[in-house]
Chains A and B, each alone.
Chain A
């Protein structure tokens, strides 16, 4: 096993989640590699600290309240939303597409010609919201318009907006394909927005109705 593999197995070694063979490998490696020994010592210290955390249990009755409340909310929304259910789930799909629409909303047209830096920051600002949040925020803005009714239409519209902007385009396609969870530095991203833009983002997201 390479050092990388050993190093990344150390926590499983410490918490006893390795099979016998891997455990021996790690143990033998630790005897001869000071670098991994250092990692090991650090992880052990962290592990000791971690054991101080214990669960704070909710009241015993709590779990029995979950289902009734879920059902109540389902009943409340069923009448108004049930018939739209199919459409809604289709709307959830083009997540990144919708994220981009939101970007279009918070930028003025002139921003499109500005440098990649801002484009980048704005894209970052919205690309990690959940599909329903972004879609809802966007569809509130576009209420009555048919722009969101069909993923292809949206994609085409965006492609038009994005002529020449390869970065967003690539990131967008990648995200559509992988639907992965990406780390983001929200504070860093938001510091690239002015307060008005940030508030606009927030109100778009919190003002939404439950899908």
Chain B
């Protein structure tokens, strides 16, 4: 039901009804926020992603042809914007790490200490953050969003068999990361 409604909104927007866009935002803002938040684990970054996603949606809406569902299209944009945010962050981190090598700080010398202060929850978050991108995307969409494989397959443009393998390896890695962290002290 909601699928055809979404499509109607898009068609209405394409006919010039700008308010339809507002309705789409209201309908999906929470979902988009949560997917983004799972990716970056930070409110401000998630908020930036939400803004960027809807700006992109607005600009692409006139070209939307309905060959995929509105929501798979929207989720795909969300995943892409999220991954790009992470990539940019990692490049920044990389450059910063480079600086640490030049001027070693106290903090960088004892990373193990930090583990002890970490709660299980933070450990899990970190395990998720460390997943390879594709596995992370699959994990978030399947485990947290509980989307059907058919939809994830459209969002990520991957075969269902591949998705299932990604999901399996993602959860395995999370388990292994948590285990290793526990054994570390």
Contacts and interface: CB of A to CB of B under 8 A. Distances in A.
B152 to A, nearest CB: 11
Interface residues of A, number: 57
Interface stretch (B9-17, B53-61, B103-111): B53-61
Given A8-B165, A211-B59, A181 B22 contact: no
Nearest to A71: B22
B175 A49 contact: yes
A70 interface: yes
A50 B83 CA distance: 22
A4 B87 CA distance: 32
Interface string A60-91: 00110011011101100000000001001100
Nearest to A70: B54
B150 to A, nearest CB: 13
A85 B59 contact: yes
B74 to A, nearest CB: 14
Nearest to A85: B59
Q: Specify the main secondary structure of chain A where it touches its partner.
A: helix
Interface in A30-76: 39, 42-43, 45-47, 49-50, 52-56, 58, 62-63, 66-67, 69-71, 73-74
Interface of B: 22, 25-26, 29-30, 33-34, 43, 47, 50-52, 54-56, 58-60, 62-63, 79-81, 83-84, 87-88, 90-92, 94-95, 98, 120-121, 123-125, 132-135, 137, 142-143, 146, 156-158, 161, 164-165, 167-168, 171-172, 174-176, 178-179
Interface of A: 7-11, 15, 17, 39, 42-43, 45-47, 49-50, 52-56, 58, 62-63, 66-67, 69-71, 73-74, 85, 88-89, 128-130, 132-133, 178-184, 186-187, 190, 195, 198-199, 201-202, 205-206, 210-211
